[in-house]
Structure 1
Amino acid sequence: MPLFEARNIQKRFGARVVLEDVSLSVEQGAVHGIMGPNGAGKTTCFNVLTGHYAPDGGTIRFAGRDIAGMKPHRIARLGVSRSFQIMNLFDDTVVIENVMLALPEFRAMTFSPSRNVFIDRALTDAALEILAQVDLAEKAWDKAASLSYGQRRALEIAVALAARPKIVFLDEPTSGLGAEATRALAQLVRRLRESYTIVMIEHDMRFLFELADRISVIHWGQVIAEDTPTELMANKWVARSALGELA
């Protein structure tokens, strides 16, 4: 049984149909890519799958449980985490604090303005362990605003990992990155796949085709193809779309 599965997802905004009969299936331990031209419905699909929009039709199942229409925080507690195309970090705090704030242990604490969370060794150790996964442990006590753009992308992924998810959704992780930072991110994704199932929207076709086990192609609000990167290269629907030249 797939870890994550969507069937016949529909989403409208007024009279505008954004998603129509979208289906995809993600196996545990896989890297599953989602690609498509601008305006194809990729981000809306991500927002529906992670609870930020409720679907107007269809089913979404995670680990055998129906999560369609659940609020994002409830879905996150089940083990679904995500990053965003536009980064949302606390720049006025240190790197480690961004991660600590996302830890389930921190969220379960009774808030006290006078409490110094940095004296809680268990919290700091947990945050440092996650930062080590994204090669940022040495930057733990630096201001988040001082990080390079590529390091900030890595920190955003660390924040997503802090929720201890089973599956991580990455929205355009290479957006704004140069060639060197993109290569570093590719290495990071290869390491993370050993511990997490990953779904990612990505405009960089080379990056996506090198890393993904399977890719769903969304066009006109529909999945026009889903296959391995090798098979998609020969798919007539992909070749006839604007994606053919990119692929």
Structure 2
Amino acid sequence: MVLFQAQNIQKRFGARVVLENISLSIEAGTVHGIMGPNGAGKTTCFHVLTGHHAPDAGRILFDGQDITGLKPHIIARKGVSRSFQLMNLFDDAVVIENVMLALPGFRAVGSSPFRTTFGDTGLIKAALAVLEQVGLAGRAWEKAKELSYGDRRALEIAVALAAEPRILFLDEPTAGLGAKATQNLAQLIQQLRKRYTICLIEHDMRFLFELADRISVIHWGQVIAEGTPAALKANKWVARSALGEVA
């Protein structure tokens, strides 16, 4: 069943066409990859799909409902959550506070978003359950800035999961990670795929080919190929012109 669909999406910034007739379909319960060279339009595509940029033309459907042009927080409430290429964490807050801020039931107290009532055991349990999914429950009361870079990536995913999504968009989750942290992240995504539909942009081709069920290749703002990892590997033109050789 198709859970998320983009139909003939176009996006311009002034006279510059960034996305041209982008169409893709993401099946429920799958990992869908988006790949392509720098400047291809991948992140802009994510911004449009999740409401951070309005498309100039085309439609976006989530579970059959038209969400084209809706604000990001409204799209998030419907079950679409995302991470960003550059991490958005509150470094001086503790890990669990970062997650609590994203919970649907969270309410700030007074003028500060961090003046929460930690006697609210329901919120604490919900936040800890999310942190358990990414392996950070044991570090819930440490400050975010004390985490390793890899654990900060995991925390960012936890923040996205706290919104209770049905589909999770991840923008270059391996950026800046070493080999071990990348391996740990791959294992985490393998666990998360049992509960969530996932779409991810990724430059690490081996990482993406290991995880994705299907991949859309974007080049010059257009989808130039789509298929299984095996099919794309066999397409020599795609491998050489858009991806670089993938062993």
TM-score by length of 2: 0.96
Question: In structure 2, what is the Cα distance between the partners aligned to 1:32 and 1:143?
Answer: 33
Q: How many residues align?
A: 245
Q: Does structure 2 conserve the Cα–Cα contact (< 8 Å) formed by 1:186 and 1:207?
A: yes
* Cα shift readout 1:18-73 (whole Å, capped 9, x = no counterpart): 00011100000000000000000000000000000000111110010001111101
Q: Does structure 2 conserve the Cα–Cα contact (< 8 Å) formed by 1:225 and 1:237?
A: no
Question: In structure 2, what is the Cα distance between the partners aligned to 1:235 and 1:213?
Answer: 16
2:137 corresponds to which residue? 137
State the shift of 1:111 in Å. 3.5
Counterparts of 1:1-247 in structure 2, within 5 Å, are: 1-106=1-106, 109=107, 111-112=109-110, 116-246=116-246
State the shift of 1:119 in Å. 1.0
State the shift of 1:235 in Å. 1.9
Q: Which amino acid is 1:32 matched to?
A: H
Unmatched runs of 5 consecutive residues or more in structure 2:
none
Task: Give the 3 Å change call, closer, same or farther, for CA 27–178 of structure 1 in structure 2.
Answer: same
Corresponding residue SS for 1:34 = strand
State the shift of 1:113 in Å. 5.3
Corresponding residue SS for 2:5 = strand
* Cα shift readout 1:113-146 (whole Å, capped 9, x = no counterpart): 5964211100000000000000000000011110
Q: Which amino acid is 2:156 matched to?
A: E
Task: Give the 3 Å change call, closer, same or farther, for CA 116–78 of structure 1 in structure 2.
Answer: closer
Question: In structure 1, what is the Cα distance between the partners aligned to 2:35 and 2:100?
Answer: 32
Corresponding residue SS for 2:118 = helix
Q: Which amino acid is 1:91 matched to?
A: D
Corresponding residue SS for 1:119 = coil
State the shift of 1:243 in Å. 1.1
Question: In structure 2, what is the Cα distance between the partners aligned to 1:144 and 1:177?
Answer: 17
Question: In structure 1, what is the Cα distance between the partners aligned to 2:111 and 2:121?
Answer: 18
State the shift of 1:246 in Å. 4.0
Q: Which amino acid is 1:103 matched to?
A: L
Q: Does structure 1 conserve the Cα–Cα contact (< 8 Å) formed by 2:109 and 2:117?
A: no
Task: Give the 3 Å change call, closer, same or farther, for CA 236–246 of structure 1 in structure 2.
Answer: closer
Question: In structure 1, what is the Cα distance between the partners aligned to 2:237 and 2:24?
Answer: 17
State the shift of 1:245 in Å. 1.6
Unmatched runs of 5 consecutive residues or more in structure 1:
none
Corresponding residue SS for 2:12 = strand
Question: In structure 2, what is the Cα distance between the partners aligned to 1:210 and 1:241?
Answer: 21
Question: In structure 2, what is the Cα distance between the partners aligned to 1:212 and 1:236?
Answer: 19
Question: In structure 1, what is the Cα distance between the partners aligned to 2:108 and 2:151?
Answer: 31
Question: In structure 2, what is the Cα distance between the partners aligned to 1:5 and 1:57?
Answer: 14
Task: Give the 3 Å change call, closer, same or farther, for CA 113–119 of structure 1 in structure 2.
Answer: farther
TM-score by length of 1: 0.96
Question: In structure 2, what is the Cα distance between the partners aligned to 1:236 and 1:85?
Answer: 29
Q: Does structure 1 conserve the Cα–Cα contact (< 8 Å) formed by 2:239 and 2:246?
A: no
